[in-house]
Amino acid sequence: MGAKTEKLLAVLKLQPVVPVLIVEDVASAVPLARALVKGGLKAIEITMRTEAALEAVSRVAQEVEGAVAGAGTILNPAHFAAAVEAGAQFIVSPGTTQELLDTARKSDIPLLPGAATASEVMALRQEGYQVLKFFPAEQAGGAAYLKSLSSPLAGTMFCPTGGISLKNAKDYLSLPNVICVGGSWVAPKDLVARGDWDGITRLAEEAFALTA
């Protein structure tokens, strides 16, 4: 197992649920991340879907003790480079391109690449990846589909993301090939908007307590 795989596993094993955040207002990034860390969720994926995202990664990386800031929705080499420069400690992509894989190969920062089919998983295995994001999890076939991959593609571990909630997280976490899940439910827009950080900490504690 390569050093970058070990580095990625160390991040993903911190908790059963990785918060997937869309940060609209950079001012909320630090208190939101602190609330999540307080509840036990240290690895935090901030998606590059808003203008505030890169600054949010930077602030969380610099200002939130205990947080492991990651960047998600990385679509191309320029995204990858910008996220790493901002301080991202892990990179997540919804799918993969050869250009993205080439960029990741040259970086010390680990990539969690997305895959939704057996062929995509096989292609990424050939590139040396043993830990993948299964996305979009529910829409691509859910826990039953992922379970069916566990035997023919043994040795590959997944972080399913997409459509996962407190209700179905255990369905995934009980699978032998799932290391953790990604979810946005731990940071609901309404709680973030009104700055209910205690409420988010409670959701984080509930998510941290999830086991198979």
- 170 among known catalytic residues: no
Q: What is the DSSP string of the chain?
A: --HHHHHHHHHHTT-SEEEEE--S-GGGHHHHHHHHHHTT--EEEEETTSTTHHHHHHHHHHH-TT-EEEEE---SHHHHHHHHHHT-SEEE-SS--HHHHHHHHH-SS-EE-EE-SHHHHHHHHHTT--EEEETTTTTTTHHHHHHHHTTTTTT-EEEEBSS--TTTHHHHHTSTTBS-EEESTTS-HHHHHTT-HHHHHHHHHHHHT---
- 138 among known catalytic residues: no
Residue type, 102: D
Choice among 4, 24, 38, 45 that is catalytic: 45
Choice among 13, 65, 133, 147 that is catalytic: 133
Catalytic residues: 45, 133
